[in-house]
Amino acid sequence: MNPLREHQLLLTRRQFFGKSAVGLGTAALGSLLNPQLFAGEAATYPLAQPHFAPKAKRVIYLFMAGGPSQLDLLDYKPGLGKLHTQELPASIRMGQRLTGMTSGQSSFPVVKSLFKFAQHGKSGTWISELLPHTSTI
CA distances, 117 to each of 20, 82, 110, 122, 137 (Å): 49, 16, 18, 16, 16
Angstrom distance (rounded) from CA 7 to CA 16: 11
Which pLDDT score is estimated for 131? Answer: 87
User: pLDDT tens digits, residue range 42-90?
Assistant: 666 666 777 788 888 888 877 777 777 777 888 888 888 888 888 888 7
Work out the average pLDDT over 4-30. Answer: 75
CA quadruple 124, 125, 128, 131: dihedral, nearest 10? -100
Main-chain phi, psi angles of 109, to 5 degrees: -75, 145
Give the pLDDT score at 79: 85
Q: Model pTM?
A: 0.44
Question: In the 8-state DSSP scheme, what is residue 135?
Answer: G
How far apart are alpha carbons 40 and 54 in whole angstroms?
30
Residue 118 forms beta bridges with which residues? 127
Residues 59/90, Cβ–Cβ less than 8 Å: no
Q: Quick one: pLDDT at residue 83? A: 86
Residue 70 phi/psi, 5-degree rounding, is: -65, -25
